[in-house]
């Protein structure tokens, strides 16, 4: 298993540009998440998905959009990039039997995004 | 919603010493408490976790304790080594599968 993979690893965007961060997992996990991590800070949840076709907002969704058309893929779209979106973005996934909470999250390697 | 406070933000120890990181949570319904280690430039990875029906769990040099009454849980690392240097994150979650993370503790182990 490759686990959770993310592309690209690095990207520099100009203000106002758009891009899509890709995330794929091959563990057949239902739950997928997007976090951002600012320097010296913790993880802030942007969006999450509990299964194909279902997404919901996290703590900091403004300026982002997601889709979940398959179990494997959970892309994050940045529209009209702003300097405040400079961060490291982590995708994660977990499996959790229905009705039970609390299982390990598997993180991707991250995408380092700079908006200038 | 859940609120997780983590202390200290930075912890500096000598190799061989013990290190303790503490987290408090606000939602008494939280029932799963993982700890993640993040080395510089790497992804977070689970090192140990505990569920609310257990008071303590150990894995070699790492242990986690949970006090449900006081709503706090702690990570204990004994005989620290330079390779233990990293940022450690605690988290708390319940049935919603959406964990709330602490802000992280930067552990520095001096040789």
> pLDDT truncated to tens, each residue of chain B (111 aa)?
789 999 999 999 999 999 999 999 999 989 889 999 999 999 999 999 998 888 999 999 999 999 999 999 999 999 999 999 999 999 998 866 788 899 999 999 999
Compute the nearest-CA separation of A10 from chain B (Å): 12
* Mean confidence (pLDDT) of chain B: 94
Which chain B residues contact residue A109 at CB under 8 A?
A: 42-43
Query: Quick one: closest CA in B to A108, which residue?
Result: B43
* β-pair type (B56-59, B72-77): unpaired
Q: What is the pLDDT of residues A43-79, one digit of tens each?
A: 999 999 989 999 999 999 999 999 999 999 999 999 9
Query: Quick one: closest CA in A to B39, which residue?
Result: A109
Predicted pLDDT of residue A102: 62
Touching check for A60 and chain B: CB below 8 Å? Answer: no
Selected for mutation to probe chain A from B44, B103, B105 (highest A CB count within 10 Å) is B44
Q: Is A39 exposed, middle or buried (0-12, 13-18, 19+ CB in 10 A)?
A: exposed
Touching check for A100 and chain B: CB below 8 Å? Answer: yes
- Among the partner-chain residues A41, A48, A104, the one whose CB lies closest to the CB of B46 is A104
Predicted pLDDT of residue A99: 46
CB contact under 8 A, B43 and A100: no
Predicted pLDDT of residue A76: 98
CB contact under 8 A, A102 and B97: yes
Under DSSP, is residue A8 helix (H, G, I), strand (E, B) or coil?
Answer: coil
Predicted pLDDT of residue B86: 97
């Amino acid at each position: 298993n490759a686990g959770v993979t993310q592309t690209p690893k690095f990207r520099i965007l100009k203000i106002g540009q758009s891009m899509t961060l890709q995330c794929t997992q091959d563990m057949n996990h239902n739950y997928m998440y997007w976090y951002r991590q600012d320097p010296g800070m913790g993880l802030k949840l942007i969006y999450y998905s509990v299964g194909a076709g279902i997404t919901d907002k996290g703590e900091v969704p403004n300026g982002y959009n997601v889709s979940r058309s398959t179990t494997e893929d959970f892309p994050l779209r940045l529209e009209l990039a702003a300097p405040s979106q400079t961060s490291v973005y982590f995708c994660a996934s977990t499996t959790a039997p229905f009705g039970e909470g609390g299982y390990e999250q598997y993180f991707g390697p991250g995408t380092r995004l700079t908006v200038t | 919603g859940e609120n997780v406070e983590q202390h200290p933000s930075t912890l500096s120890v000598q190799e061989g010493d013990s290190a303790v990181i503490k987290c408090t949570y606000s939602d008494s319904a939280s029932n799963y408490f993982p700890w993640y280690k993040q080395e510089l430039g790497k992804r977070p990875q689970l090192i140990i976790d505990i569920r609310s029906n257990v008071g303590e769990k150990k894995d070699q040099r790492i242990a986690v304790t949970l006090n449900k009454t006081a709503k706090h849980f702690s990570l204990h690392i004994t005989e620290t080594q330079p390779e233990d240097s990293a940022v450690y994150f605690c988290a708390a979650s319940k049935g919603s599968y959406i964990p709330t993370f602490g802000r992280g503790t930067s552990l520095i182990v001096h040789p």
